[in-house]
Chains A and B, each alone.
Chain A
């Protein structure tokens, strides 16, 4: 019997494609965010509001990731012409987007006409954190209804986020949520992320969110 050293990174193939995607985006001067959250945290609702506000001001494109159905694409199309839906059930029902899917999806757009690419990952707080897809920033959405302990239960996803958006703030009056605890638990697992509190319904915090998207573009 012989032992043979391999020393090979299993994520290497995905990471290489992610670098390639990032290079393509940089060459076209496109800023890209990867939005991660549990199912139902309000990703698509926030995007509806975001695209409506950015219309005519910043040229956006969206890649939607879901296991199945084009429902989210259809929700966003009234606000943006450039929306492409990936259904991972065509790749075995993956619980996350991989870099190769994004590389293929980029072919669907005229990249010279885009300044901001928003990728809505599959709703899942575990797997998407492990897969680089060529983005410049990871944005994690965390809804008020998920409870104060969510950051501690999913520390990896919270830790890799550059921006953490706490959603559904309009529900604060109806829930027994300790906001100080939410801030404290986020800081325990990620002290560097920018934290933005919003309500897509009432509009609270949306100016700050839009500000982030537009300035993130400028600083790139």
Chain B
């Protein structure tokens, strides 16, 4: 349950970005976030935390749109790339290459956690 602390980080960054651009914080209507599968974030929990934190920070109209980015791996042996929607224990879960069988995966995506953009009212 680290979503509440991360939500506070997001709000701090948004406030700093608004201030940098001289935009009144009450104009904020949306924040778009990408959360990689490897960050183990529960989008609903993060959203819940963000809504509480944004209201407390004087941005009551802000909506939070969280897009999950898949876990991406590249086989270190044959270079085959694979996109895994789940980063958790389905019974057949394995990072070994489905083509050549080598167990030399390199993680190329899924650790991102970014604020991509914000929407502000005119």
Q: Which residues on the B side are within 8 Å of A11 (C-beta)?
A: 113
Q: How far is the CA of A189 from the CA of B96 in the complex (A)?
A: 8
Decide if B120 touches A10 in the complex (CB within 8 Å).
no
Query: In the complex, A152 Cα to B92 Cα: how many Å?
Result: 9
> Are A5 and B116 in contact, with the CB atoms below 8 A?
yes
Contact of A4 among B1, B120, B122 (CB under 8 A): B120
The SS class assigned to the B binding surface is mixed
Bound-state Cα–Cα, A149 to B92, Å: 12
Does B105 lie within 8 Å of A191, measured CB to CB? yes
CB <8 Å contact, B88 and A155: yes
The 4 closest A-B pairs by CB, nearest first: A152-B89, A191-B103, A127-B2, A188-B94
Q: Which residues of B contact A (CB under 8 A)?
A: 1-2, 4-6, 9-10, 13-14, 17, 21, 23, 29, 33, 38-40, 87-89, 91, 93-96, 103-105, 107, 112-122
18 residue pairs bridging A and B, Cβ less than 8 Å apart: A3-B117, A4-B21, A4-B23, A6-B115, A7-B116, A7-B117, A8-B17, A9-B113, A9-B114, A10-B115, A11-B113, A126-B2, A129-B40, A130-B39, A152-B93, A153-B88, A155-B88, A156-B40
